[in-house]
């Protein structure tokens, strides 16, 4: 069999998953080909051009800490940034950016094009070349055969994509692009289980037709933020977003036209996202609500398009226009692009290892919405891990896995491959049981060394984190050693800060545990070193939440025994006596790698785990006796 060209890694799809996968593979030294249906749509943002938010912002910072690209590109493309949930504890603080979608694409395209070991080509892949169950290459629609040792599927919503607006439907991907039809058939023929999901998007309107005076302004933060730990952007000109609401007229328009809504006529078969429903689903499922929030957000500095967040819909275009014009500030709205739903094929992610490699196919990986997830950030995080592991597979190096105790990326992937998903999956802070340890602010401290050790995070990034570690350690030690006594001037100083006086001598470390005392407030008074705002924040969190953090560390240590108990790959779960039928089916389907992973499978009870542990010990003893 002849091939026109040879690469170590091929990545199919140049969305957010594909871009991260290709960059990771190339930066780790593998010759890499990134395949896209259209070179003009690299890193396309077909939905809201925003990045971050609760839990999603954590993913972006973790991607950055490991050496990925999304954070750096977002910082350059940002129209505004806001830190969310600041009234709550640090575990749920998260950064959100509204991005210029065209600048984002251009910045990501530049990053791809300047990688020496990375090539980008516009192709449609119809088939896969196998040698037994091992990947050997791909076949394009033109019959070209391209060889590879590892293949990453990052096809997004393009597999048998079907766009639906009212009674109209047609084959296609987001924003009217081509869809891939034959590749779905090739995956099915290989024995890969597919399912059908659905997502959607609202209309885009002309900003010149919006009456912003009738809306509430949503400005960015005055404090400058960056997603990347190595960004040097100190200030940016920010554009505002705007808030308005639906009303009874809006809801009546939708209710009167539900008989024309594809979601309720049967024209849509795929399962939609629970946490980002269309406006017609909101009206049906929450009839008691009199209003729903609608955010009108800019899509870029050089376009008049504005995104109408909260009004995702596939209703007919005449209904969409009437619905929009019933909302305060949008009475004269002009539609530039109508909203639509899109159905697409994705895989059952329980077919994957925690590395995002397929269990039954050597060299085949999957990342992003093809795995049943939703969102740019979830896709990029998976793309990074799939790209890393594809490179490690080619280089015959040990795989790279992040656990639930190490990263939100670990939570995301473990949820998908262990529990599966019956609807488009969205990461949330509530999914992370160790979220106080997995804060967005300490992602660099948690993960940069991991990225450096595999050859992805650069030397400068690693050196910066080492300096940060050192500054934190030295300052914490100084705070513990510095004792203040209840003399008059100290008592007066504390009263000025609004805190109680000392009864006995205490360390500055203990003093900082008080909720209304900050490092900045006591720095000059006690001659403490000048620190960056990031180091100051780390020190305060580590001190003020010390007890809670220590409890979570203990929880992680207790759970570690289960995570380290590996399950033999050759185990026959049907032979484990006493466990439930459901447990046998789920364990045989997912084939978990550890007892910890097995314990998180829905339908596997603690009693099943106890019996499984006994069976594994019996297996071990039998093998020892035979040896």
Same domain, 385 and 514: no
For residue range 318-337, list pLDDT tens digits in order. 999 999 999 999 999 999 99
Same domain, 156 and 26: yes
The mean-pLDDT minimum among 113-127, 289-303, 365-379, 583-597 falls in 583-597
Q: Are 58 and 440 in contact (CB under 8 A)?
A: yes
Could you tell me the two tokens for 578?
């006493």
Residue 100 confidence class, pLDDT cut points 50, 70, 90: very high
Predicted local distance difference test score (pLDDT) of residue 177:
82
The answer, yes or no, to whether residue 116 has pLDDT greater than 80, is yes
Provide the edge-to-edge strand list for the sheet that holds 78-84. 50-52, 94-99, 78-84
CA dihedral 390, 394, 397, 401 (to 10 degrees): 10
SS3 420: coil
Residue 172 confidence class, pLDDT cut points 50, 70, 90: confident
Residue with tokens 């314990």: 599
Q: Across the strands, what pairs with 165? A: 168
For residue range 13-36, list pLDDT tens digits in order. 999 999 999 999 999 999 999 999
What's CA 316's distance to the chain center, in Å? 32
Predicted local distance difference test score (pLDDT) of residue 158:
93
HSE, side-chain direction, 13 A CA sphere, residue 47: 22
Identify the CATH number of the domain in which residue 584 sits: 1.10.150.570
The answer, yes or no, to whether residue 266 has pLDDT greater than 90, is no
DSSP code at position 528: P
User: What number is the average pLDDT over the span 532-536?
Assistant: 93
CA dihedral 526, 531, 535, 541 (to 10 degrees): 20
Same domain, 11 and 147: yes
Q: Are 491 and 501 in contact (CB under 8 A)?
A: yes
Predicted local distance difference test score (pLDDT) of residue 1:
65
Residue with tokens 């050597």: 362
Cα-based distances in Å from 292 to 212, 278, 311: 18, 12, 9
Could you tell me the two tokens for 600?
């998180």
Same domain, 158 and 240: no
Identify the CATH number of the domain in which residue 291 sits: 2.40.30.260
The Cα angle at residue 152 between residues 462 and 176, in degrees rounded to 5: 110
Same domain, 255 and 362: no
| β-pair type (335-337, 204-206) | antiparallel
Name the residue among 566, 597, 263 with its Cα closest to residue 420: 597
Could you tell me the two tokens for 521?
């407030």
Predicted local distance difference test score (pLDDT) of residue 307:
97
Compute how many other C-beta atoms are within 10 angstroms of the C-beta atom of residue 476: 16
Same domain, 39 and 160: yes
DSSP code at position 419: I
What's CA 490's distance to the chain center, in Å? 48
Same domain, 333 and 349: no
The answer, yes or no, to whether residue 400 has pLDDT greater than 70, is yes
Predicted local distance difference test score (pLDDT) of residue 516:
87
Domain span holding position 92: 5-200+344-453
Name the more confident of 75 and 617: 75
The answer, yes or no, to whether residue 622 has pLDDT greater than 80, is yes
The mean-pLDDT minimum among 173-182, 218-227, 405-414, 478-487 falls in 173-182
User: What number is the average pLDDT over the span 560-583?
Assistant: 88
The Cα angle at residue 173 between residues 168 and 176, in degrees rounded to 5: 65
Identify the CATH number of the domain in which residue 487 sits: 1.10.10.1800
Q: Are 395 and 117 in contact (CB under 8 A)?
A: no
Give the chain's largest Cα–Cα span. Answer: 88
The mean-pLDDT minimum among 198-212, 387-401, 581-595 falls in 581-595
The answer, yes or no, to whether residue 175 has pLDDT greater than 80, is no
Average pLDDT, rounded, for the chain = 94
Same domain, 88 and 14: yes
Q: Which of 324, 340, 356 is the last residue of a domain?
A: 340
Predicted local distance difference test score (pLDDT) of residue 291:
97
Q: How many domains does the chain have?
A: 4
Cα(360)–Cα(171) distance, rounded to whole angstroms? 31
User: What number is the average pLDDT over the span 461-486?
Assistant: 96
Predicted local distance difference test score (pLDDT) of residue 173:
84
Cα(230)–Cα(466) distance, rounded to whole angstroms? 13
For residue range 415-467, list pLDDT tens digits in order. 999 999 999 999 999 999 999 999 999 999 999 999 999 999 999 999 999 99
User: What number is the average pLDDT over the span 78-83?
Assistant: 97
Predicted local distance difference test score (pLDDT) of residue 627:
67
SS3 for 66-135 is HCCCHHHHHHHHEEEEEEECCCCCHHHCEEEEEECHHHHHHHHHHHHHCCCCEEEEECCEEEEEEECCEE
Name the residue among 198, 568, 562, 569 with its Cα closest to residue 414: 562
DSSP code at position 159: B
HSE, side-chain direction, 13 A CA sphere, residue 25: 35
Same domain, 16 and 115: yes
| β-pair type (150-153, 162-165) | unpaired
Same domain, 148 and 47: yes
């Amino acid at each position: 069999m002849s091939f026109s060209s040879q690469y170590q890694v091929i990545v199919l799809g140049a969305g957010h998953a594909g871009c991260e996968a290709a960059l990771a593979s190339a930066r780790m030294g593998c010759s890499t080909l990134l395949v896209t249906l259209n070179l003009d749509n690299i890193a396309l943002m077909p939905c809201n051009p925003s990045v971050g938010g609760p839990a999603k912002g954590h993913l972006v910072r973790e991607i950055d800490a490991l050496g990925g690209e999304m954070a750096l590109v977002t910082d350059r493309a940002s129209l505004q940034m806001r830190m969310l949930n600041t009234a709550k504890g640090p575990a749920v603080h998260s950064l959100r950016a509204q991005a210029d979608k065209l600048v984002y694409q251009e910045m990501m395209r530049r990053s791809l094009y300047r990688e020496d070991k990375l090539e980008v080509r516009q192709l449609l892949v119809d088939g896969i070349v196998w040698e037994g169950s091992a990947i050997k290459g791909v076949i394009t629609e033109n019959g070209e055969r391209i060889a590879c040792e590892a293949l990453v599927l990052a096809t997004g919503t393009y597999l048998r994509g079907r766009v639906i607006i009212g009674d109209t439907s047609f084959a296609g991907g987001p924003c009217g692009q081509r869809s891939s039809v034959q590749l779905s058939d090739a995956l099915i023929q290989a024995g890969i289980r597919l399912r059908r999901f659905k997502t959607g998007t609202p209309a885009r309107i002309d900003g010149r037709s919006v009456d912003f005076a009738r809306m509430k302004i949503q400005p960015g933060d005055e404090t400058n933020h960056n997603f990347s730990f190595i960004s040097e952007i100190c200030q940016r000109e920010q554009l505002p977003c705007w808030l308005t609401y639906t009303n009874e007229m809006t809801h009546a328009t939708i209710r009167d036209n539900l008989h024309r809504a594809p979601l309720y006529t049967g024209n849509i078969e795929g399962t939609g996202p629970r946490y980002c429903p269309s406006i017609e689903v909101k009206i049906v499922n929450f009839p008691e609500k009199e209003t729903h929030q609608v955010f009108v957000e800019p899509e870029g500095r050089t376009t008049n398009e504005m995104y109408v967040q909260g009004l995702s819909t596939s209703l007919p275009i005449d209904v969409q226009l009437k619905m929009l014009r019933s909302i305060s500030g949008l009475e004269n709205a002009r539609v530039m692009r109508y909203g639509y739903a899109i159905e697409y094929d994705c895989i059952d992610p329980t077919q994957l290892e925690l590395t995002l490699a397929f269990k039954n196919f050597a060299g085949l990986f999957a990342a992003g919405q093809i795995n049943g997830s939703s969102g740019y950030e979830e896709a990029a995080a998976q793309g990074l891990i799939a790209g890393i592991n594809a490179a490690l597979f080619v280089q015959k190096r040990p795989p790279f896995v992040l656990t639930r105790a190490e990263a939100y990326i670990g939570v995301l992937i473990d949820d998908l491959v262990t529990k599966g998903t019956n609807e488009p999956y969205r990461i949330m802070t509530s999914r992370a049981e160790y979220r106080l340890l997995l804060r967005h602010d300490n992602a660099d401290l948690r993960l940069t060394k991991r990225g450096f050790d595999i050859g992805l995070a650069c030397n400068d990034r690693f050196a910066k984190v080492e300096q940060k570690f050192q500054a934190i350690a030295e300052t914490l030690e100084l705070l513990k050693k510095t004792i203040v006594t209840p003399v008059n001037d100290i008592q007066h100083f504390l009263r000025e800060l609004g805190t109680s006086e000392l009864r006995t001598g205490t360390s500055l470390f203990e003093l900082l545990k008080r909720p209304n005392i900050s490092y900045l407030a006591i720095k000059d008074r006690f001659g403490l070193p000048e620190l960056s705002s990031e180091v100051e924040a780390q020190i305060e969190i580590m001190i003020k939440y010390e007890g809670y953090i220590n409890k979570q560390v203990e929880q992680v240590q207790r759970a570690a025994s289960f995570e380290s108990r590996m399950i033999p790959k050759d185990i026959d779960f049907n032979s484990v006596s006493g466990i439930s039928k459901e447990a046998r089916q789920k364990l045989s389907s997912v084939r978990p790698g550890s007892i910890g992973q097995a314990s998180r499978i829905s339908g596997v009870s603690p009693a099943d785990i106890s019996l499984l542990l006994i069976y594994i010990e019996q297996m071990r003893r039998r093998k020892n006796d035979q040896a």
